[in-house]
């Protein structure tokens, strides 16, 4: 029995720059289930980070949510369950600040720069605890030490008075995780938390996050471009291309029966140990400039299976079954399929 925690529909985020409007996120639909892991996958610049920041309303200027809904289920103050629309909240207002850190918290990509180097580890963690709970400084310190211990930091009672610049990258990311988990959030967003770390540390951090999720039962939104990581941790996968989700489904389905040509190409581009071929198979072409988006399907200039309609018709979301949907004309309807066949015959 699954239960949606955050339902995102038609989320659009535009950046109003001097050179023009960049449509970073152009209609994203997502469901994050309580206690489950959703991996958001895509190349650099596809809008996955921006979208995840929107869930906390911490998009940087000049970015703005221009439309969409982000329905978040939470316990209201009187104990009943309520549904609030995060998209409608004022980014600087008090209500969203109550959700940030307490109910939704975030781990960032760069552990080197995500912590302030001028404040001690303990200061930065207890600040968050004291902001959201009614505790004395001593109590906050005790629970910070507990949390540091929980994320596997040796001698936390000493490390708590240390400055982050004296810690290694892996240690800093553990501190970040301890901080994000310190108020026991219902949802944790991790924006490429292992990208800046070396491989052995990556594996440790991943294990730690899975373990914490198991123990605390929070939902995890994991943003990555590393499909190996996805295979290891994901319950559900959403593949993003140029501001849209092109395919989503449970991890097994997406890995074993990828439908969208982009997902298929992504999976083919991963090196395999038992690989016969000498070369990797990269996806042809470049990610288009956000100022000059292709017409029709955004992926068609790089797509190996494109046909005549692809540069004209924008594909809608097609539900293949309950847990699997794709945005591609190949799967859309009979008419499209026929023209696909015709195109193939002519080619």
Partner 1 sequence: MWQYIARRFTYMVFTVWIISLITFAVIQLPPGDYVTTIVSQMINSGMEDLPPDFEQQIREQYGLDQPMVVQYYKWLRNIIVDGKFGYSFVYRKDAKDIILERLPVSFAISGFSVLFIWAVALPIGIYSAVKQYSLADYLVTFIGFIGLAVPSFLFALVLMFFSYKYMDRAMIGLFSREYETAPWSLNKFLDLVKHLGIPVIIIGTAGTAGLIRTMRANLLDELNKPYVDTARSKGLSERALLWKYPVRHALNPFISTVGWILPSLIAGELIVSVVLNLPTSGPVIYNSLLTQDMYVAAGAILILSSMTVIGTFISDLLLAWLDPRVRLH
DSSP string, 194-228: TTTS-HHHHHHHHHHHHHHHHHH--EEEEEES-HH
Check binding of 165 to partner 1 (CB under 8 A): yes
Check binding of 52 to partner 1 (CB under 8 A): no
Cβ neighbours, 10 Å, residue 147:
22
DSSP string, 107-161: E-S-HHHHS-TTS-HHHHHHHHHHHHS---HHHHHHHHHHHHHHTT-SSHHHHTT
Looking up tokens 């605390």, which residue turns up? 216
Of the pair 9, 98, the CB lying nearest partner 1 is at: 98
Q: Which of 116, 168, 308, 312 binds partner 1 (CB under 8 A)?
A: 116
Tell me whether residue 112 is exposed, middle or buried, using C-beta atoms within 10 angstroms of its C-beta: 0 to 12, 13 to 18, 19 or more.
Answer: middle
Check binding of 115 to partner 1 (CB under 8 A): yes
Query: How many chain residues are in contact with partner 1, going by CB under 8 A?
Result: 34
In 34-91, where do the E strands start and end? 37-41, 63-75, 81-85
Q: How far is the CB of 214 from partner 1 (least distance, A)?
A: 23
Check binding of 241 to partner 1 (CB under 8 A): no
Q: Which of 117, 270, 341, 344 binds partner 1 (CB under 8 A)?
A: 117
Omega before 62 cis (within 30°)? Answer: yes
Q: How far is the CB of 100 from partner 1 (least distance, A)?
A: 4
Of the pair 20, 285, the CB lying nearest partner 1 is at: 20
Q: How far is the CB of 318 from partner 1 (least distance, A)?
A: 35
Q: Which residues contact 275 (CB under 8 A, 6 or more apart)?
A: none
Of the pair 119, 284, the CB lying nearest partner 1 is at: 119
Query: Of the ranges 64-72, 117-125, 263-271, 331-339, which one interacts with partner 1 (CB under 8 A)?
Result: 117-125
Task: Considering only residues 169 through 228, tell me which ones interact with partner 1, judged by CB under 8 A.
Answer: 176, 179
Task: Considering only residues 85 through 104, tell me which ones interact with partner 1, judged by CB under 8 A.
Answer: 92, 94, 97-102
Binding mask 129-148 for partner 1 (x = CB under 8 A): --xx----------------
Q: How far is the CB of 180 from partner 1 (least distance, A)?
A: 8
C-alpha pair distances (Å), 282 with each of 114, 262, 265, 269, 270 = 32, 11, 8, 5, 9
User: Which 3 state secondary structure label does DSSP give 242?
Assistant: coil
Tell me whether residue 33 is exposed, middle or buried, using C-beta atoms within 10 angstroms of its C-beta: 0 to 12, 13 to 18, 19 or more.
Answer: middle
Tell me whether residue 56 is exposed, middle or buried, using C-beta atoms within 10 angstroms of its C-beta: 0 to 12, 13 to 18, 19 or more.
Answer: buried
First vs last Cα of the chain: how many Å apart? 47
Check binding of 20 to partner 1 (CB under 8 A): no
Q: How far is the CB of 162 from partner 1 (least distance, A)?
A: 10
Check binding of 250 to partner 1 (CB under 8 A): no
Check binding of 108 to partner 1 (CB under 8 A): yes
Which residues would be at the binding site for partner 1 (CB under 8 A)?
A: 53, 56, 58, 60, 92, 94, 97-102, 105-106, 108-110, 113-120, 127-128, 131-132, 163, 165-166, 176, 179
């Amino acid at each position: 029995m699954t239960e949606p925690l955050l339902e995102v529909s038609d989320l659009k985020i535009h950046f109003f720059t001097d050179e023009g409007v960049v449509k970073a996120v152009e209609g994203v639909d997502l469901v994050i289930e309580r206690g489950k892991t959703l991996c958001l996958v895509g190349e650099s610049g596809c809008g996955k980070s921006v979208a995840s920041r929107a869930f906390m309303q911490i998009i940087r200027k000049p970015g703005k949510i221009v439309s969409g809904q982000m329905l978040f289920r939470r316990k209201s103050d009187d104990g009943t369950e309520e549904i609030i629309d995060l998209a409608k909240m004022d980014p600087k207002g008090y209500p969203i600040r109550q959700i940030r850190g307490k109910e939704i918290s975030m781990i960032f990509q760069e552990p080197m720069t995500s912590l302030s180097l001028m404040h001690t580890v303990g200061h930065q963690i207890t600040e968050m605890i004291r902001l959201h709970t009614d505790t004395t400084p001593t109590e906050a310190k005790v629970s910070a030490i507990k949390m540091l211990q929980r994320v596997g930091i040796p001698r936390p009672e000493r490390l708590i008075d240390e400055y982050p610049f004296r810690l290694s990258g892996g240690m800093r990311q553990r501190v970040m995780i301890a901080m994000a988990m310190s108020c026991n959030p219902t949802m944790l967003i991790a924006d490429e938390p292992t990208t800046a770390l070396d491989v052995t540390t990556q594996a440790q951090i991943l294990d730690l996050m899975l373990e914490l999720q198991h123990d605390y039962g929070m939902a995890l939104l994991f943003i990555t471009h590393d499909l190996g990581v996805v295979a290891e941790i994901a319950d559900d996968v959403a593949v993003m291309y140029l501001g849209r989700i092109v395919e989503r489904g449970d991890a097994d389905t997406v890995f074993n029966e990828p439908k969208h040509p982009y997902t298929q190409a992504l999976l083919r581009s991963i090196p395999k140990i038992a690989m016969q071929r000498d070369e990797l198979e990269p996806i042809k072409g470049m990610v288009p400039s956000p100022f000059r988006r292709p017409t029709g399907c955004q992926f068609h200039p790089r797509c190996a299976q494109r046909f005549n309609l692809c540069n004209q018709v924008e594909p809608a979301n097609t539900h293949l079954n309950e847990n699997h949907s794709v945005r591609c004309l190949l799967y859309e309807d009979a008419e499209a399929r026929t023209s696909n066949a015709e195109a193939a015959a002519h080619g």
